[in-house]
Amino acid sequence: MDNKKVQGKQIWTVNVGSKGQIVIPKEARELFNIMPGDSLVIIGERNRGLTIPVKETVKKRFDRFSKGNKV
């Protein structure tokens, strides 16, 4: 499957290598400004799958949440 655009969302497919590694597609890295050395967080929910946000995004949301603001 190639990159698909659905109502403002992007969908990419990646292959998992023998060491469990994936390559984030160039278009996704550019869209989300992911640079070499950036940290990502992998969040897994058995029924919903994986989410891989940039660590800084998670930190900002957590900081707002811990201050009582809307996430």
* 53 vs 68: which has the higher pLDDT: 53
Are 43 and 28 part of one and the same domain?
Answer: no
Are 4 and 23 part of one and the same domain?
Answer: yes
Are 2 and 28 part of one and the same domain?
Answer: yes
Q: What is the pLDDT of residue 69?
A: 65
Q: What is the pLDDT of residue 9?
A: 82
Total-model pTM: 0.64
Distance in angstroms (rounded) separating the CA atoms of residues 36 and 49: 25
pLDDT in tens, 12-63: 999 999 999 999 999 999 988 999 998 888 889 999 998 888 888 788 877 8
> What are the structure tokens assigned to 52, written together?
């891989």
Reduce the DSSP state of residue 10 to 3 states and report it.
Answer: strand
Structural domain of 49: 39-71
**Which residues are 32's β-sheet partners?**
none
pLDDT in tens, 22-33: 999 999 999 889
